[in-house]
Amino acid sequence: MLTDLVRKGTVREGVDLGPLTTYKVGGPARWLLEAEQMADLEAVSPYDGPVLVIGRGSNLVVADEGFPGLVIRLGAGFWHIDIEGYDVTAGSTVPLPAVARAAARAGVGGFAWMVGVPGSVGGAIRMNAGCFGSDISSTLTSATVFDLRTGLATDRQPAAFEYQYRSSNLDAHEIVLAGQFAGSPEKPEEIEEDMREITRWRRDHQPGGTHNAGSVFKNPKGDTAGRIIDDLGLKDTRVGQVSVSMKHANFFVAESGATARDIHGLVTLIQSLVHERTGIWLVPEMVFVGFEE
């Protein structure tokens, strides 16, 4: 089936995935579908082979050897924001900062924290993204999910995702198409000030203008990964062309010539050093694809 879609131009072969991630590294996809509408997803269904869904690529590292299956990237047809009262509905490809700003203009509170997360709605729902004391599970009321194995889209309640800290039970074949969120009344100028404060904090404490994937590790209960790594004197630890940021120890920065192997190597090195010295096993927040466990 995919071979037929390649001939039609619906699916492409051998497309480099590095440019689709914030680290700008990684090998090619065996097949790539850039879906602009539901019909494109339906065209590749049912499909139960290896699959990878890419959003903004802000927490993703693909191995240098690439991905030997179908990669799906949703396009403009899944970009929409609708606000009715204090309910906000957003398509999968909408960046979270865009949701925050649209809600602010409408006087809908509860979304200011999203301005600090570089990912998109679909990925955020999948991983229960969050920061500054809030996360997706605190505002999500429903989500539309397309299952590649059946070709069916269903609306699901948050409880169905079994949310935990930075995780859900969604698997690779389940694609988030949109989410609906519940907000609350708040003055636009107050929301704008909250967003400015979050933006200032990010600028002051996180390495902007670099190739990175945001927070590398999940925070262990009652502590932060950045503090642990910093206190152990591991800032500027390096593997190849990737190093622990001097500005924030839970950000790893890739320089020119970096490889996915460098990133993976630094993550596993820091994991090992932290465990050896503290007994804490840091769990990556980033998703690694194509690497052995």
Per residue in 244-256, pLDDT tens?
999 999 999 999 9
Mean pLDDT of the chain: 96
Low-confidence ranges of the chain (pLDDT < 50): none
Spot the catalytic one: 120, 168, 215, 245.
215
CA distance 239 to 61: 15
Q: Please tell me whether residue 200 adopts helix, strand or coil conformation.
A: helix
Segment holding 279, helix H or strand E? none
**42 phi/psi in degrees, rounded to 5:** -65, -30
Tell me, yes or no, if 285 is annotated catalytic. yes
Radius of gyration of the chain measured on its C-alpha atoms: 19
Encoded amino acid at 279, one letter: G
Closest CA to 66 of 262, 287, 275, 260: 260
Q: Are 229 and 188 in contact (CB under 8 A)?
A: no
User: Tell me, what's the pLDDT at 288?
Assistant: 96
Percent of the chain with pLDDT over 90: 94
Q: Kindly state the tokens that stand for 289.
A: 């694809």
Q: Which CATH number fits domain 78-191: 3.40.50.2300, 3.30.465.10, 2.40.128.50, 2.40.50.140?
A: 3.30.465.10
CA distance 156 to 180: 10
Model confidence over 23-51: pLDDT tens digits?
999 999 999 999 999 999 999 999 999 99
Q: Which CATH number fits domain 208-289: 2.60.120.260, 3.40.50.2300, 3.90.78.10, 3.40.50.2020?
A: 3.90.78.10
Q: Are 175 and 55 in contact (CB under 8 A)?
A: no
Tell me, yes or no, if 30 is annotated catalytic. no
Question: How deeply is 192 buried, as exposed, middle or buried, from its count of CB atoms within 10 A (0-12, 13-18, 19+)?
Answer: middle
Spot the catalytic one: 101, 168, 174, 285.
285
Encoded amino acid at 133, one letter: G
Q: Kindly state the tokens that stand for 193.
A: 């000030």
User: Tell me, what's the pLDDT at 293?
Assistant: 61
**288 phi/psi in degrees, rounded to 5:** -105, 130
Spot the catalytic one: 120, 166, 174, 243.
166
What does the domain layout of the chain look like in residue ranges? Answer: 2-74, 78-191, 208-289
Query: Is pTM, for the whole model, over 0.85?
Result: yes
Tell me, yes or no, if 215 is annotated catalytic. yes
CATH number 3.40.640.10 is the correct assignment for the domain at 2-74:
no
